[in-house]
Amino acid sequence: MSLLELRGESAGYNGKSILRDVSLKIEPGERIAFVGESGAGKSTLLRLLYGRLGNTAALMPQDSALVQSLSVFHNVYMGRLHQCSVWRNLRNLLFPAATDIEEVRKVLTPLRLEEKLFSNVGQLSGGQYQRTALARALYHPGRVIVADEPVSSVDEHQASEILSTMNCEKETVLLAMHDRALALEFANRIIGIRDGGIVMDTPSAGMTPEDLDELYLAGGMITA
């Protein structure tokens, strides 16, 4: 059974249509990179997909949306807020439970963030910040991750590390990416977006970054 299917869907803001007539089927286990120039509609499409998946998916939004004044522990713990009682969440804000600390620590250790457990997120480097956002998404129990430009502020080595961790830890990965080489390396399906529509939908195997150049040129449907 498909994980998700869109049939001729539209989406936009304030009555203005951005995505038009988008049809798309996603199977469990796929690793899809949505690529296209800035403003093409990738984030809008990811929002639509995340809206359909709801709490079965973990989200890494473009700005990471971490709470600067809270610790790494608290930000990562938010990945499971929806699963716990209000009382437990409030108590953990002030007096984190040992079991929850251990659970969060298990996610932080392979991401080399263990020492930052109780550091404020506002004090982290760009790479640590983006890895904390990943830790929060990994802490979320969903088997799907929806990530909007998850490696935009890290170097190539950390980008590879983040993307391969995502691929190992989550069953289905939906990414918006502007780095074409990384998109081809870490996704097995490439969906090209232009002017709010899907203009390319192809396996990544055998493609080169140059094959995606067409996405950034004016024109019609691309046959890859």
51 binds ligand ADP, rule: CB under 6 A: no
15 binds ligand ADP, rule: CB under 6 A: no
Give the helix/strand (H/E) hosting 16: strand 16-26
Range in contact with ligand ADP (rule: CB under 6 A) among 42-50, 66-74, 106-114, 139-147: 42-50
154: which residues sit within 8 A by CB, 6+ positions away? 126, 127, 130, 162
CB of 68 to ligand ADP, least distance (A): 21
50-73 per-residue burial string, b: 16 or more CB within 10 A, e: under 16:
beebeeebbbbbeebebeeebbbb
18 binds ligand ADP, rule: CB under 6 A: yes
Range in contact with ligand ADP (rule: CB under 6 A) among 33-41, 85-93, 110-118, 210-218: 33-41
44 binds ligand ADP, rule: CB under 6 A: yes
87 binds ligand ADP, rule: CB under 6 A: no
* Dihedral sign, Cα of residue 11, residue 47, residue 9, residue 195: positive
Of 29, 39, 126, 203, the one binding ligand ADP by CB under 6 A: 39
Q: Which two tokens stand for residue 86?
A: 């209000």
38 binds ligand ADP, rule: CB under 6 A: yes
Whole-angstrom distance, CA of residue 70 vs CA of residue 181: 35
11 binds ligand ADP, rule: CB under 6 A: no
CB of 65 to ligand ADP, least distance (A): 14
Please list every residue from 160 through 189 that binds ligand ADP, using CB under 6 A: 176
Other C-beta atoms within 10 Å of 162: how many?
23
> Would you tell me which residues interact with ligand ADP (CB under 6 A)?
13, 18, 36, 38-44, 176
